[in-house]
């Protein structure tokens, strides 16, 4: 019988970057966020945010929509359902990684 | 490096990552709910002022109040749409508060205006009555973080 795969295999490669993880975590708590507010929340420059959002959009973790409010252009960012699922799975894998460590200690003790 | 050494590093990294995610989620949630609360409290204050003016105004004042009310709704709605962060559940809470406020306001209008009530006490109580659903919606704690804890 093959052993259970290590929880690290459940980690999402895109979310291994702390910046992208921060972006997705912030988006997980809002229905949508505009580009400027999101940048302010995670304390990231416009260019870095833009670059990381492009990666997340490519992976279909977030969706980006451009619009106008009071004739001013706004860029709205939202977590996609697949992105939310990927985030959940990533968090579970992180928690399992910690549990595995403590479980290991328990067994050793 | 031993397997245990790798496990330690991975666990530390996982703890750090969970911390990062939790802090970002908390900040976004906090900011989002702060504006929801501010919006509801400003609306509650406006409602108190509106109803008191309604009670003590003549017909011209009442017409102006209705126009002011329409402008306030448009400006408020527009402002709420333009906020940068809409917390999860914030729209639902605003919607429920708005519905309850509309019901309270309709009751106040029905009782106060149709009966031409002149009692100061009635209008003060009515003003507070219309603000109750908004204040309650503003002070109820935000729901707990959905994904990150």
> What's the gap in Å between the CA of A47 and the closest CA on chain B?
18
How does DSSP classify residue A63?
E
Whether the CB of A20 is below 8 Å from some CB of chain B: the reply is: no
pTM: 0.79
Q: Residue A100: what are its φ and ψ, rounded to 5°? A: -60, -40
Asked if B35 and A41 count as a contact pair (C-beta separation under 8 A), the reply is no
Residue A108 has pLDDT above 50, yes or no: no
| Residue A77 reports pLDDT greater than 70 | yes
Q: CA A65 to CA A78: how far, in whole Å?
A: 8
pLDDT of residue A101: 61
> pLDDT exceeding 70 applies to what percent of chain A?
87
Between A3 and A8, where is the model more confident?
A: A8
A-chain CB neighbours of B78 within 8 Å are 69-70
Count other Cβ atoms within 10 Å, centred on residue A34: 20
Q: Who among B32, B81, B147 is closest to A91 (CB)?
A: B147
**ipTM above 0.85 for this complex:** no
Average pLDDT, chain B: 83
What is the radius of gyration, based on Cα positions, of chain B?
Answer: 23
The 10s digit of each residue's pLDDT in B28-43 is 999 999 989 998 999 8
Cα separations (Å) of A44 from A18, A19, A20, B143? 12, 8, 11, 26
User: Mean pLDDT lowest for which of A27-31, A95-99, B127-131, B143-147?
Assistant: B143-147
Region A48-70: mean pLDDT is: 92
Contacts of A28 in chain B (CB under 8 A): 25, 146-148
As a CATH number, domain A14-108 is 1.10.10.10
Angle of helix B3-56 relative to helix B59-82, nearest 10 degrees, comes to 170
Q: Identify all chain B residues contacting A102, using CB atoms and an 8 Å cutoff.
A: 11
Residues sharing a CB contact under 8 Å with residue B41, sequence separation 6 or more, in sequence order = B134, B135, B138
Segment B77-99, tens digit of pLDDT: 777 777 788 898 888 898 899 89
Q: How far apart are CA B46 and CA B127, in angstroms?
A: 10
CB spacing of A31 vs B88 below 8 angstroms: yes
Q: Which residues of chain B are within 8 Å of residue A104 when distances are taken between CB atoms?
A: 4, 7
Domain positions in chain B? 3-139
DSSP state of B115: T
Structure token digits, residue B98:
């708005």
* Average pLDDT rounded to a whole number, residues B119-146: 88
- Closest A-chain CA to B87: A30
- Give which of A76, A1, A65, A26 is closest to B84, Cα–Cα: A76
Q: What is the pLDDT of residue B10?
A: 75
- Banded model confidence at residue A107, pLDDT cuts 50, 70, 90: very low
Domain ranges, ordered by start, for chain A? 14-108
Residues 6 or more apart whose CB falls under 8 angstroms from that of A63 comprise A57, A77, A78, A80
Q: Are A39 and A49 in contact (CB under 8 A)?
A: yes
Say which of A26, A30, A84 has its CB closest to residue B86: A30
């Amino acid at each position: 019988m093959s052993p259970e795969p290590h929880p690290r295999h459940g980690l999402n490669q895109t979310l291994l970057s702390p910046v992208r993880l921060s972006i997705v975590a912030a988006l997980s708590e809002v229905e949508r966020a505009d580009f400027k507010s999101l940048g302010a929340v995670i304390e990231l420059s416009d260019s870095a945010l833009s670059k990381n959002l492009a990666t997340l959009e490519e992976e279909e973790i977030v969706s980006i929509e451009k619009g106008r409010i009071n004739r001013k252009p706004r860029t709205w960012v939202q977590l996609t359902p697949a992105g939310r699922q990927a985030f959940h799975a990533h968090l579970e894998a992180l928690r399992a990684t910690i549990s595995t460590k403590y479980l290991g200690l328990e067994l050793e003790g | 490096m031993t397997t245990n050494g790798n496990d330690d590093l991975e666990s530390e990294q996982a703890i750090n990552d969970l911390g990062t995610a939790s802090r970002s989620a908390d900040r976004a949630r906090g900011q989002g709910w702060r504006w929801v609360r501010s919006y509801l409290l400003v609306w509650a204050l406006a409602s108190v002022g509106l109803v008191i003016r309604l009670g003590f105004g003549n017909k011209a004042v009442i017409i102006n109040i209705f126009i002011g009310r329409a402008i306030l709704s448009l400006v408020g709605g527009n402002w709420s749409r333009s906020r940068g962060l809409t917390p999860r559940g914030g729209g639902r809470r605003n919607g429920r508060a708005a519905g309850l406020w509309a019901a309270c306001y309709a009751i106040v209008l029905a009782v106060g205006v149709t009966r031409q009530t002149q009692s100061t006490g009635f209008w003060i109580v009515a003003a507070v009555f219309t603000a109750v659903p908004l204040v309650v919606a503003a002070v109820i704690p935000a729901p707990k973080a959905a994904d990150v804890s």
